[in-house]
Amino acid sequence: MMPQLLTVGVKRPDRRLVRVRVPVVPVVLLLSPVLLLALVAGVVAGHVYHVDTLRALRTGWRIVCALPGTRFDAQFDRTAVLVAIR
Protein backbone atom coordinates (compact mmCIF):
# COMPACT_ATOMS: atom_id res chain seq x y z
CA MET A 1 0.00 0.00 0.00
CA MET A 2 1.38 3.39 -0.88
CA PRO A 3 2.13 5.91 1.91
CA GLN A 4 -0.86 7.88 3.15
CA LEU A 5 0.59 10.33 5.63
CA LEU A 6 4.01 11.90 5.99
CA THR A 7 4.80 13.51 9.33
CA VAL A 8 7.75 15.87 9.63
CA GLY A 9 8.62 17.44 12.95
CA VAL A 10 11.42 19.85 13.81
CA LYS A 11 12.35 21.27 17.17
CA ARG A 12 15.03 23.93 17.38
CA PRO A 13 16.65 25.11 20.62
CA ASP A 14 14.37 27.40 22.62
CA ARG A 15 11.51 26.87 20.22
CA ARG A 16 8.58 24.56 20.41
CA LEU A 17 8.16 21.50 18.25
CA VAL A 18 6.74 22.23 14.81
CA ARG A 19 5.01 19.20 13.35
CA VAL A 20 3.63 19.06 9.82
CA ARG A 21 1.40 16.27 8.57
CA VAL A 22 1.31 15.88 4.81
CA PRO A 23 -1.42 13.75 3.22
CA VAL A 24 0.45 12.02 0.42
CA VAL A 25 -2.36 11.21 -2.02
CA PRO A 26 -3.67 14.79 -2.43
CA VAL A 27 -0.12 16.10 -2.82
CA VAL A 28 0.67 13.47 -5.44
CA LEU A 29 -2.52 14.39 -7.31
CA LEU A 30 -1.59 18.05 -7.10
CA LEU A 31 1.89 17.38 -8.42
CA SER A 32 0.79 14.82 -10.99
CA PRO A 33 1.74 16.97 -14.04
CA VAL A 34 5.26 17.38 -12.67
CA LEU A 35 5.45 13.68 -11.80
CA LEU A 36 4.35 12.79 -15.32
CA LEU A 37 7.16 14.90 -16.76
CA ALA A 38 9.63 13.27 -14.36
CA LEU A 39 8.36 9.86 -15.49
CA VAL A 40 8.93 10.71 -19.15
CA ALA A 41 12.41 12.03 -18.32
CA GLY A 42 13.13 8.80 -16.45
CA VAL A 43 12.03 6.65 -19.40
CA VAL A 44 14.25 8.66 -21.77
CA ALA A 45 17.21 8.40 -19.36
CA GLY A 46 16.60 4.65 -19.09
CA HIS A 47 16.83 4.29 -22.87
CA VAL A 48 20.00 6.38 -23.00
CA TYR A 49 21.76 4.40 -20.26
CA HIS A 50 20.39 0.99 -21.31
CA VAL A 51 18.39 0.44 -18.16
CA ASP A 52 15.29 -1.75 -18.24
CA THR A 53 12.62 0.94 -17.84
CA LEU A 54 9.80 -1.38 -16.83
CA ARG A 55 11.96 -3.04 -14.21
CA ALA A 56 13.06 0.35 -12.91
CA LEU A 57 9.45 1.51 -12.61
CA ARG A 58 8.45 -1.70 -10.88
CA THR A 59 11.34 -1.37 -8.42
CA GLY A 60 10.52 2.29 -7.80
CA TRP A 61 6.89 1.44 -7.10
CA ARG A 62 7.93 -1.40 -4.73
CA ILE A 63 10.16 1.04 -2.84
CA VAL A 64 7.35 3.59 -2.55
CA CYS A 65 4.93 0.91 -1.35
CA ALA A 66 7.45 -0.33 1.24
CA LEU A 67 7.87 3.12 2.78
CA PRO A 68 4.97 3.01 5.31
CA GLY A 69 6.30 2.22 8.76
CA THR A 70 9.54 4.11 8.25
CA ARG A 71 10.44 6.35 11.14
CA PHE A 72 13.46 8.54 11.77
CA ASP A 73 13.60 10.26 15.11
CA ALA A 74 16.78 12.03 16.18
CA GLN A 75 17.66 14.48 18.90
CA PHE A 76 21.06 16.09 19.18
CA ASP A 77 21.69 18.72 21.81
CA ARG A 78 18.36 20.54 21.88
CA THR A 79 17.48 20.06 18.23
CA ALA A 80 15.14 17.26 17.27
CA VAL A 81 13.96 15.95 13.92
CA LEU A 82 11.19 13.48 13.27
CA VAL A 83 10.18 11.94 9.96
CA ALA A 84 7.51 9.27 9.98
CA ILE A 85 5.69 7.68 7.08
CA ARG A 86 2.39 5.89 7.50
Instruction: Verify binding: residue 54, another protein, rule CB under 8 A.
Output: no
Instruction: Verify binding: residue 9, another protein, rule CB under 8 A.
Output: no
User: Which residues make Cβ contacts (< 8 Å) with residue 24, sequence separation at least 6?
Assistant: 2, 3, 4, 5, 6
Of 2-10, 22-30, 31-39, 71-79, the segment contacting another protein by CB under 8 A is 71-79
Instruction: Verify binding: residue 75, another protein, rule CB under 8 A.
Output: yes
Instruction: Verify binding: residue 71, another protein, rule CB under 8 A.
Output: yes
Strands (E) across the chain are located at 5-11, 18-23, 71-76, 79-85
Least distance in Å: CB of 35 to another protein? 19
